[in-house]
């Protein structure tokens, strides 16, 4: 299998922030869309891109909440988008294309928390896969004319090193045979990477490149109040006093540090001519299929070969088209 999954040796460390990566970068005249660009990593990505001069559209399920979150950030607008609703996705793309020209940067960062039980959308599709992959797949297809019109566009899918723990369940992507929360999360994150691989192979001729980014385990300044405290401590993400542990070299980052690799993928000239790759710590990650344990001091984040396999990438694209009704179903992947 040939690929470009080799580190470049960039000047940015794992501790670099989004502002540091964008220092000296002028994005004036560039248009960007960030899904869920009003919270967490999305908000930091929105803020950094806009600060560098880009006009950013935040796509959000709750526009009022999103407008409150981005209030005061120049060059940012908010539009409604529900990634579980195909009609909403098409309407968003139609509105955006009617009022803008080329789309230079698309950051697919929206996700839903991993539910403790099987949750299906109105179509019978597992909700993490439907939001994190399928909704973004439809959105990206609908925005293809705008990406092509930019004459140099990048699509950035936010993924996770957790892709290493699961492949695509081709026979049962919606867990009709029994729900596994971790497996569902890993499947979606693998799909994010395979989508970037397939997109780059299909659209590079249009000067559109795809990237998948592991931002790190983003601890930030607040710990999710619903998280298991003991599990957080065992993972080395929280100290004995309940404070978040920030250790970029070990993959534990602030939102500003986590967003750095997202904006690196979206803008860096070091990636010119390189696409369809998985990045972490502001560089292309190596391939590593060794079964490595997750410990308090080490979180494996290299890319697994199953997530960059071109045949699987093409197969996922075909599955997405069938699930969206863009080609006849053959019974594979549908929940019954």
Tell me which residues are annotated as active site: 185
Say if residue 299 is exposed, middle or buried (CB neighbours under 10 Å; 0-12, 13-18, 19+): buried
Would you state the structure tokens that stand for residue 106, as one six-digit string? 């698309």
Structural element, H or E, at residue 60? strand 55-60
| 245 vs 232: CA distance, rounded Å | 10
How many Cβ atoms from other residues are within 10 Å of residue 15's Cβ? Answer: 17
258, 44 contact by CB (below 8 A): yes
36, 60 contact by CB (below 8 A): yes
In the numeric block, the tokens 């594979």 are attached to 332
Would you state the structure tokens that stand for residue 95, as one six-digit string? 């509105």
Would you state the structure tokens that stand for residue 49, as one six-digit string? 């891109």
252, 245 contact by CB (below 8 A): yes
Look at phi and psi of residue 61 and say left if phi exceeds 0, alpha if psi is from -120 to 50, else beta. Answer: alpha
Cα distances (Å, whole numbers) of residue 281 to 46, 109, 153 = 19, 17, 22
Would you state the structure tokens that stand for residue 105, as one six-digit string? 């940067």
């Amino acid at each position: 299998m040939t690929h470009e999954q080799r580190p470049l040796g960039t000047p940015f460390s794992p501790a670099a922030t989004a502002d540091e990566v964008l220092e000296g970068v002028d994005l004036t005249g560039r248009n960007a869309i960030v899904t869920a660009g009003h919270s967490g990593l999305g908000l930091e990505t929105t803020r950094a891109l806009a600060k560098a001069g880009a006009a950013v559209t935040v796509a959000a399920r709750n526009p009022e909440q999103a407008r409150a979150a981005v209030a005061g950030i120049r060059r940012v607008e908010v539009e409604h988008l529900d990634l579980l609703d195909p009609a909403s996705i098409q309407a968003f793309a139609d509105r955006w294309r009617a009022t803008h020209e080329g789309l230079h940067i698309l950051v697919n960062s929206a996700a839903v928390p991993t539910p403790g039980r099987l949750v299906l959308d109105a179509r019978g599709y597992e909700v993490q896969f439907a939001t994190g992959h399928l909704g973004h797949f439809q959105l990206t297809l609908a925005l293809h004319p705008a990406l092509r019109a930019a004459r140099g566009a990048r699509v950035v899918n936010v993924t996770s090193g957790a892709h290493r723990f699961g492949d695509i369940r081709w026979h049962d992507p919606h867990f009709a045979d029994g729900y596994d929360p971790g497996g569902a999360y890993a499947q979606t994150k693998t799909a994010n990477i395979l989508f970037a691989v397939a997109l780059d192979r299909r659209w590079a001729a249009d000067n559109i490149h795809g990237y998948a980014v592991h931002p790190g385990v983003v601890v930030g300044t607040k710990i999710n109040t619903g998280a298991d405290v003991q599990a957080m401590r065992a993972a080395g993400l929280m100290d004995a006093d309940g404070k978040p542990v920030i250790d970029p070299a070990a993959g534990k980052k602030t939102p500003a540090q986590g967003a750095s690799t997202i904006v690196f993928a979206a803008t860096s000239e070091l990636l010119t001519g390189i696409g369809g790759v998985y990045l972490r710590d502001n560089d292309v990650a190596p391939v590593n299929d060794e079964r490595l344990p997750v410990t308090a001091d080490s979180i494996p984040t290299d890319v697994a070969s199953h997530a960059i396999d071109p045949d699987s990438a093409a197969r996922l694209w075909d599955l997405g088209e069938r699930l969206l009704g863009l080609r006849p179903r053959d019974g594979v992947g549908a929940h019954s």
